[in-house]
Structure 1
Amino acid sequence: MNKNIFKPVLALCAAAVMGACSLDEYDPLGTDTSASLTEYEKWYGMQTKCYEPIYSQLYTVVDFMSVAEAGTDLWLTAKNSDNTKELFYYESLVPFANKYWDKAFIQAYTALGTCATVIKNGEKMEQTDAVKTLYAEARFLRGFYHLLLTTYYGPITLVNHSVEDGADLNPKRNTLTEIYTSVINDLEFAMNNLGTTPYNNNRARATKKSALGFLCRAYVQAAGQGLTAPDGTSYWDKAANLAADFVADTEAGGSKYGGYLYDDISDLWASNNNRTNKEALFVAAGADASMDTETWNNANAGKSKLFTLFYWNQTLCSDISKITSDKQNYFYGRTNAGVFAPSKYLLDLYTPSWDKRWENTFQTSFGGFSMQQPEWLPYSSQSIKLSPKVAKLYGISLSMANKYIYPYADCAALPSTSGGNQYVASVWPKGETSGDVSKLQKPKNVYVMDYPVAEDENRIFLYLSKEKMTAEDKVNRIYACVDIDDLFDETGAYLSTNVGNAWAGKYGQTNPLYQAYPCLNKFQWNYEGVFYGSNLQIKNGDVYIMRAAEIYLIAAEAYQKLGNGGKAAEYINKLRARAARPGVTAETYKLSNATEEDILDEFARELCGEHQRWALLQRHQAFRTQLPKGNKRAAATYRDIHKWRPISQTFLQQIDNAEEYGDNGYGTTAKSGLEGFEQ
């Protein structure tokens, strides 16, 4: 077996790391792995590479999303499919190589040797302001990657040695105490030495608020493992104090940490705020030609496919929408890879009558589009005259037959020097059917339609209703209406067929809409610069790895764990206030005393889909209690070994002591490897 191929993952071979990280136009590293890495330009180039897995893999593709969100109470597979059953349902979860958990493990480990090398050499350099800042960033990133790994894989091996130090093919695990002590030391150092403005004003780089945010996350994750700080202080106390300090500073203007919380939840998800988001603490930055391209270099940046994971394919009902090809769906993108469908438990957590997070989190109204502006698809050609046959198929009143469903959006085709055409969408005003492009409007987010949908709305072809609708409710609506509850079977799983079940009796055996579901729209971006030309599976938006709202929730979580549910409720109420609709009184949504259940529910409402749910359930030891609420199929197969994801088989195949190191109890090695290290 060639052991050398795994050296970059363990950060044991500098040459392998350098070769994988060459820059597009200029490689300050070359193949030099000597002490010349203390020369600023070479060191700076290597420091930049520490960020690469964040925007090239972890927060742009399916691997880490599946590790971080699947197998929880919030997400099911569309049509109750089996193709991702290992992580969604813990079925046949055998730790093979090249699976999602394997890839995420390697992606995070690959960067750690680079971080350690930057740290080691940075300590030898002249301590200019630039070196100090970049060194602190490297400490942040080392803490970030170690925290990610221990959160999901438990006791792993700390990588605090440089790639120049040579290979160790008999790695030893560290205890959780050792790991969290290292993580917290790195993050505390970064918080104390980074500024509130990113280096070179590059939004992809870490700042003081980034370090604070992940320090809060490290505190609560450590507390959830039953650990105590070296000085004897409770990690819940540390989390509560630091999170409270951040909130107080944010509400006073953010001078200390640079924090900000939008007053209106719709501004958080507004397209114009995606790349300049004030609430973001740390981002996986999408490719941006207007900015310093140092952040992306030769990485996979500009190839985010996250939105495709959460959308059903609109060609399912092309007879009512004229969206006939997923390869030419310029409004929604190529949505042919949808697998994450929200559980009924998650959807039921929202009360849309007061909570604007409903439509700013899930798209439930779907309309067609024209391309009148570039004259590709004239407005008139994209209007649907509803035939009696189609009306009957979709359960639309025959009184609507021979009336028109008009396009909702119009997509431009703007030429761009970066990424090809940009299909920026505008919205046709309700009631305006002239096709006059001068009438087009620019809402904050084109995928968000105000709740509730109007009865006389004629720009959508489908509405998935949170409330049950009677025949009388539907009679004057030209669009198809489906009660969200009808998309689930009696076990809470999504329907896998429209034959021989309640759907067939209510909607008919030929109605295809049982395959639809509310779509998470947090990664469904639309603005100039976000598109990747003709590849409609890709959108280059910024992914918020952490944002200020999470610190409010961590404050609530920590105070509740410390027995102060009243104080915890105050932080939850702050988030609810900015999500409340105009005219809604505080008494409608305010909590007076938050329980642990309230904490878990509020995390779901605010952060669903944002790479956090599995970690939350893990630190609350809540899989046994939460899975029956939202994911009965997973509840039936969940076992104690699933408290950690499997150790990477790619890793185990490259070391000499795999049987001793262990796979976390999944049965491919003689030992689990956990004994004596979960402390």
Structure 2
Amino acid sequence: MIVHTRYKTVLIAAFLLAAGLTSCKKMLDEENLSGITDETLYTTPKGFETLVNAAYSYQRWWYGKERGYNIGETGTDLWTNGAGDVYPDLTTYQNLQATNGALQEVWSNFYKAINVCNAGIARVGNSGMDQALQIQRTAEFRFLRAFYYYHIVETWGGVHLTTEETVGVVTEARKSSVDDFYNLIIEDLRFAVDHLAPTTADYGRVTKPAAEAFLARVYLTRGLNAEAGALAKKVISDYGFALLPNYADLWRMNNLQNSEIVYAVNYSSNLNDNDKQDDNVYPDGDNRGSNSAHMLFLMKYDDQPGVIRSLEYGRPFNRYQPSRYLLYLFNENIDSRFEASFQNVWYCNQPNASGRPAGMNVGDTAVFISKYTVPASVRATKNYTIYDDGDIYNTDGSSKNRLRYISLKKFMDNTRGSINEAQSVRDAFVIRLAEMYLIVAEAAFKTGNNEEAVTYLNIIRERAAKEGHKEEMDVNAADVTLDFILEERAREFAGEQMRWFDLKRTGKLKESLQKYNPHAITYFRDYHMLRPIPQNQLDAVTNKSEFTQNPGYQ
């Protein structure tokens, strides 16, 4: 398991980048009584490993974090604001500007991560490691650099690209083309594929199949469909990964390291190792911590008659509400993924009879949310609270109740220490084997091979089928369209921080918002295909006429 050691000097290189690319102010002002510097620390194998671990750690700024969800999942056809949404400008595009805090934090920390990777690649030869381990660590750094640059270029386009370690204060930034970014990303990932080991005993480290899988995702993004399909097939066939027979088992807290996970960002069962706060190493403060996903998709349930907050039902932050479109993508009579992904019933857990409706006992239904209309005649016969489609959504799919809704439960964690504990030790899945099947399907469709596409689609659909319904879940080659593949990706990956990139990759973002997200399409403009460069970056550079804001933003 990747756990980064808490040395004061471990991120000196990252601090230097923060001073150079993010802000001109001095970031580190302390007397180094130990005498340890980056020049000495990274010249021993043990010291160099702290740099490797630091490079991994910045993935935790994205996966399982509110910022990553708002950038990678909201602002799409699948989600709208819950009442507690902190970044509604990302969810709806209304007044999205360069001062957005999520964009500023992700930009800053991904560029810090890039600098750590560049430093590691440049310094590995003096690390004291043997040659084989040097190559392995270089491959890890290059995978991670590609990972961070992929998210940067997809989010902001052709911004600053460098392969050199920043040492000292740098006040100029240069714009590079998107092609230049992807040339480096693909080059780095090919190196990683060629030099990484196929397996690891240190869960959380990248492996050869993980690099191949991520490269397949990149190839698909760049329209290299044959290459994407071939690599995805290789990941499926060559390494012993296997789809779990039961989709719901993917999300069990006692089954996180399972046969379907190609790559994950791991969180430690020791909460102290999850960097919730370390003022010396991470001066941004209480911004990292563990996986927050368990709170973000939950409706406000704990003020309803008969229900109190519990570990089982989670701490409801009420950030994101599923779109009506997302809920209706599922035929829950035959597709197990609806019940595995969503919660629409809350049972009475109120021990005091005075807090329960008359006739309600512990264990009885207390709240039921239906995606269909529940007639008044039926409601009159029930002693529990009912919300139906008409209570939550308008006929055009817009939301009229942002507090109560069917809630995504995939990321729940009932192993937390208390009902108000915000930290979860759940690993964040970056690449699941199911994605490889759907990459093959999309690549095959785009190259005119619907027969192959439907074969791989049906494998995923049959895994999701309820008992006795496999044949009903099967589709035919004539059913395969790009829209259908995107629908299947939504059913399979809802909430897994891919949707915005999926819609951008396929050119379907604007169209999907027009059809299914009336809140967002009101404010969406074509220039929103890129996010605004953070204002604090623009303020810091001295070559302002060259490094300018993305078009459309003030």
Query: Which TM-score applies when normalising by structure 2?
Result: 0.87
User: Is the deviation greater in 601-610 or in 648-657?
Assistant: 648-657
Counterpart of 1:111, as a letter, is A
Residues in 2 aligned to 1:658 and 1:589: alpha-carbon distance in whole angstroms: 55
**Counterpart of 1:621 in 2: which secondary structure?**
coil
Q: Distance in 1 between matches of 2:205 and 2:272?
A: 13
Aligned residue in 1 for 2:436: 551
The 8 Å contact of residues 157 and 171 in structure 1, kept in 2 or not, is answered as: yes
Aligned-pair distance for 1:634? 1.5
Change (3 A) 1:515 1:586: same
Gap change, CA 1:385 and 1:288, over 3 Å in 2: closer
- Indicate whether 1:359 and 2:344 are aligned: no
Aligned CA distance change for structure 1 residues 294 and 664 (closer, same or farther; 3 Å): closer
Q: CA contact under 8 A between 2:387 and 2:404: conserved in structure 1?
A: no
State the partner residue of 2:299.
312
**Alignment-mate amino acid for residue 79 of structure 2:** W
Identify the match of residue 421 of structure 2 among 521, 530, 536.
536
Q: Which residue of 2 aligns with 1:221?
A: 221
Query: Tell me, which stretches of 5 or more residues in structure 1 are unaligned?
Result: 21-26, 224-234, 250-255, 371-379, 388-402, 408-457, 497-513, 669-679
Q: Deviations over 1:241-265 (max 9, x none)?
A: 1112222x1xxxxxx3353311221
Q: Secondary structure at the match of 1:461?
A: strand
1:243 aligns with 2:232: yes
Residue 222 of structure 2 aligns to a residue in which SS? Answer: helix
**Aligned-residue offset at 1:369:** 3.3
1:524 and 2:421 correspond: no
Query: Does residue 40 of structure 2 align to residue 40 of structure 1?
Result: no
Deviates more, 1:582-591 or 1:238-247: 582-591
| Contact kept in structure 2, 1:48 and 1:294, CA below 8 Å | no
| Alpha-carbon distance change, 578 to 557 in structure 1, aligned in 2, over 3 angstroms | same
Cα distance in 1 for residues equivalent to 2:524 and 2:271: 47
**Aligned pair partner of 2:330 in 316, 325, 350:** 350
- Measured in 2, the distance between the counterparts of 1:19 and 1:82 equals 33
Alignment of 1:268-287 (within 5 A): 268-274=250-256, 276-287=257-268
CA contact (8 A) 2:347 2:366 kept: yes
1:533/1:521 Cα in 2 relative to 1: closer, same or farther (>3 Å)? same
Q: Could you say what secondary structure the match of 1:204 adopts?
A: coil
For 1:141, give the aligned amino acid: L
Are the equivalent residues in 1 in contact too, given 2:311–2:419 (CA < 8 A)? no
Matched, 1:331 2:312: yes
Aligned to 1:207: 207
Residues 406-445 of structure 1 mapped to structure 2, 5 A cutoff: 406-407=362-363
Query: Structure 1 residues 11 and 277, CA, compared in 2 at 3 Å: closer, same or farther?
Result: farther
Partner of 1:60: 64
**Structure 1 residues 648 and 624, CA gap change in structure 2 (3 angstroms):** same
Partner of 2:262, secondary structure, is strand
After superposition, the Cα gap between the structure-2 partners of 1:482 and 1:160, relative to the gap in structure 1 and judged at 3 Å, is same
Q: Cα distance, 1:189 vs. partner?
A: 1.4
Deviates more, 1:299-308 or 1:59-68: 299-308
Residue identity opposite 1:114 in structure 2: V
The answer on whether the counterparts of 1:153 and 1:644 sit within 8 Å (CA) in structure 2 is yes
Relative to 1, partners in 2 of residues 1:72 and 1:534: Cα closer, same or farther, differing over 3 Å? closer
**Alignment check: 8 A CA contact 2:209 2:262 kept:** yes
The partner residue of 2:513 within 627, 631, 654 is: 627
TM-superposed deviation, 1:478? 4.5
Measured after TM superposition, the shift of residue 474 of structure 1 is: 5.3
Confirm or deny: 8 A CA contact 1:78 1:338 kept in the other structure: yes
Q: 2:164 is matched with which residue: 161, 171, 175?
A: 161
Correspondence for 2:396: 491
**Could you say what secondary structure the match of 1:34 adopts?**
helix
The 1:385–1:40 alpha-carbon spacing in structure 2 relative to 1, beyond 3 Å, is closer
- 2:7 paired residue number: none
**CA deviations over 1:302-336 (Å, ceiling 9, x no partner):** 5332222111121331x332x1xx5xx4433331x
CA distance in 2, matches of 1:36, 1:190: 25
Higher Cα radius of gyration: 1
- CA shift in 2, pair 1:305/1:292, >3 Å: closer
Which moves more between the two structures, 286-295 or 479-488?
286-295
Q: CA deviation at 1:10?
A: 7.7
Matches within 5 A, 1:279-678: 279-289=260-270, 302-317=289-304, 319-321=305-307, 323=308, 329-335=310-316, 337-369=317-349, 381=352, 386-387=357-358, 403-407=359-363, 458=364, 460-470=365-375, 477-496=382-401, 515-527=403-415, 531-533=416-418, 535-593=420-478, 594-668=480-554
Show the counterpart of 1:135.
Answer: 138
Provide the rounded CA distance (Å) in 2 between the counterparts of 1:104 and 1:175.
20
TM-score under structure 1 length normalisation = 0.72
- Distance in 1 (CA, whole Å) between partners of 2:293 and 2:55 is 22
Runs of 5+ in structure 2 lacking a partner? 1-12
Counterpart among 244, 251, 258 of residue 262 in structure 1:
244
Post-superposition shift, 1:31? 4.5
In 1, the alpha carbon distance for the partners of 2:146 and 2:109 equals 15
Of 65, 73, 76 in structure 2, the residue corresponding to residue 72 of structure 1 is 76
Displacement of 1:573 after TM fit?
Answer: 0.9
Cα-to-partner distance string for 1:70-125 (whole Å, 9 max, x where unaligned): 1111101135x8863311111111211x5212211112111111111111111455
1:650 CA displacement: 2.0
Root-mean-square deviation over aligned CA pairs = 3.3
Aligned partners of 2:138, 2:42: CA distance in 1, in Å? 13
Question: Distance in 2 between the 1:17 and 1:113 partners?
Answer: 17
Change (3 A) 1:590 1:174: same
**What does the per-residue CA deviation read over 1:372-431, in whole Å, with 9 as the maximum and x for residues that have no partner?**
xxxxxxxx54796532xxxxxxxxxxxxxxx23313xxxxxxxxxxxxxxxxxxxxxxxx
Alpha-carbon distance between aligned partners in 2 of 1:526 and 1:35, rounded to the nearest angstrom: 44
Equivalent residue, structure 1, for 2:117: 115
Matched pairs, number: 532
